[in-house]
Structure 1
Amino acid sequence: MKALLSISLSVLLLLQSVNFGVTDLLRLDGLVQHVELHSESYGDSFFDFLTKHYGSSKKDHLTAHEGHEDLPFKHDAAKATINIFVVGEPQIFEFATPPVLHPQVTFFYTNSYTSQTPHKIFQPPIYV
């Protein structure tokens, strides 16, 4: 059970690191239909399709026909969030310590109960 949980969390982390989301899963059907369109209309192989839509000739092919907005993995890089952690110079804060005041003690407690016989019930055992 632990192995299944750790594998699934690792896969989830991997998919999130490459910006793969649920919307990409829902758009896979559009990807298959668009691959078939290119295969029938232009005679492109799958690798030609990838080059035209995700590779080096993406800008040239963008205006060739419609349906490119339904393809998965088309994320706008400007909308991506990048977390940056910058370590600056440490700042040293010095706090002035207030003077310690010793109040006068006005109450003294005296134990008024004394026992004549010592009770050994709460004493540790004696090892001889």
Structure 2
Amino acid sequence: MTKLIALILSFLLFAQSMNIGINDIILVDELFEHAQFHKAKYGDNFLVFLSKHYGEQKLEHSEKHQEEHQDHEKLPFQQQTQSTLISVLVINDSVPIDWSISSSDKVENYHYQPPSSSPFKSGIFQPPKVA
């Protein structure tokens, strides 16, 4: 049972990382129907069909066959998402930045006080005296 749960969670994580949603899974039958249409009308095998709708021939196919545009919108995996993180650091050269910390800028808010409880007075919980 544990292996089954791990397998399901792994598949879910993989599907989310590939941006596959429930809508795409539901529309897989549309993909196979359109593939059958291409096989009957154009004689395309499945790899050529994938190339025409998701690969190198996509632009050419969409320009030549405008009448299939509504069918193409129903196919799964058509959404395109981009998540980009752009970080820009602008440093003006006219303003010098001093990254060093002087000793007067340091705030001393640490004060060590040896433990006063009895278990710590014996040598067993103390650090070694001689290295």
What TM-score results when the alignment is normalised by the length of structure 2? Answer: 0.58
Secondary structure, aligned partner of 1:4: helix
When Rg is computed on C-alpha atoms for both structures, the one with the higher figure is: 1
Letter in 1 for 2:58: K
Aligned-pair CA distance for 1:5 = 1.6
**Is 2:69 the partner of 1:56?**
no
Residue aligning to 1:68? 72
In 1, Cα distance between the equivalents of 2:26 and 2:44? 24
Aligned-pair CA distance for 1:81 = 3.9
In 2, Cα distance between the equivalents of 1:61 and 1:94? 67
Secondary structure, aligned partner of 2:44: coil
In 2, Cα distance between the equivalents of 1:72 and 1:12? 17
Aligned-pair CA distance for 1:2 = 2.2
1:25-44 Cα shifts (integer Å, max 9, x gaps): 11111111101110111111
Letter in 1 for 2:57: S
Structure 1 unaligned spans of 5+: 98-128
Residue aligning to 1:100? none
1:40-91 Cα shifts (integer Å, max 9, x gaps): 11111111101111110111111313210011111123xx445x5x7x9xxx
Number of aligned residue pairs: give it.
90
User: How well do the aligned residues superpose, as a CA RMSD in angstroms?
Assistant: 2.7
In 2, Cα distance between the equivalents of 1:72 and 1:54? 10
What TM-score results when the alignment is normalised by the length of structure 1? Answer: 0.59
Residue aligning to 1:25? 25
In 2, Cα distance between the equivalents of 1:52 and 1:76? 17
Residue aligning to 1:44? 44
Residue aligning to 2:7? 7
Paired-residue identity, %:
38
